[in-house]
A = this chain, B = another copy of it.
């Protein structure tokens, strides 16, 4: 149950079978010191490259393909007082004809105050002089090495996790990743001080962060997509990553159906009734090469049988 600090000198831009920078035991906790999406650290020094440089990978003893790596998000703390966003909205989230009217994209800085747990634009346009938003720190990109020896860009989510940009990856959330390589090879980065659904401006409030994650290995739990429990403990969820969103939704829905049938013991009809009348969906990343849909079910309903 050791506590490790991973404050690396080198960073990775793909999730894949890289040489681990740290070896840990199941039950250990790691504080990942992470760069922002463009590679700037807590001192605003650029130490990594875009996109979304990751700290890691971390070898978790005993994790093998066919297992699931369990990750508890214990704490997410912005490690500097400045974040940044891009604007206007991404060209792929509005109607194509609207894009003709768009200027080239630019950046804006946000003051991030951990003491008051708020953020505001540093140099706001007139209309946003009084805008103060609460922090809601989340992990933009984390995951394990994929199956089959792939090394996937940290701009792209997949079965292994990656750049999912879902607001639900906040402190208190538990997530399982399908282990694709021995040691699982967990990496994390791309912290957001907060974000709307979909990361539709192409960024959250991008910032360096301390991400405190506790890892465990669930042996012989051969999942196909990330699964988890929401931060309030009230819902289980599955994640599908693909394009179009329709396919991401199919992946997340199929994974939930499998989970309810294989682990909770529901037959197809019962699982269909439960999902049909109570399921919830969230939209994660709709900015990057693959998109993210999260499928949620209430534990109170599915666990009472």
Residues of A within 8 A of B (CB): 13-14, 16, 85, 87-100, 102-104, 106, 108, 121, 125, 127-131, 133, 148-153, 194-205, 242-247, 249-251, 253-254, 257, 265-283, 286, 289, 291, 293, 301, 304-305
Contacts and interface: CB of A to CB of B under 8 A. Distances in A.
A48 to B, nearest CB: 13
B94 A267 contact: no
A149 B277 contact: no
25 contacts: A85-B276, A87-B276, A88-B268, A91-B96, A91-B99, A100-B104, A125-B267, A127-B270, A129-B305, A133-B277, A150-B152, A151-B151, A195-B277, A196-B276, A198-B279, A201-B273, A243-B243, A243-B246, A244-B244, A244-B245, A245-B245, A245-B246, A246-B246, A249-B286, A283-B293
B95 A250 contact: yes
A150 to B, nearest CB: 5
Given A253-B89, A257-B89, A96 B96 contact: yes
A89 B100 CA distance: 12
Contacts of A249: 93, 198, 245, 283, 286
B273 A128 contact: yes
B93 A250 contact: yes
Nearest to A282: B281
B94 A131 contact: no
A168 to B, nearest CB: 12
Contacts of A85: 273, 276-277
A11 B293 CA distance: 35
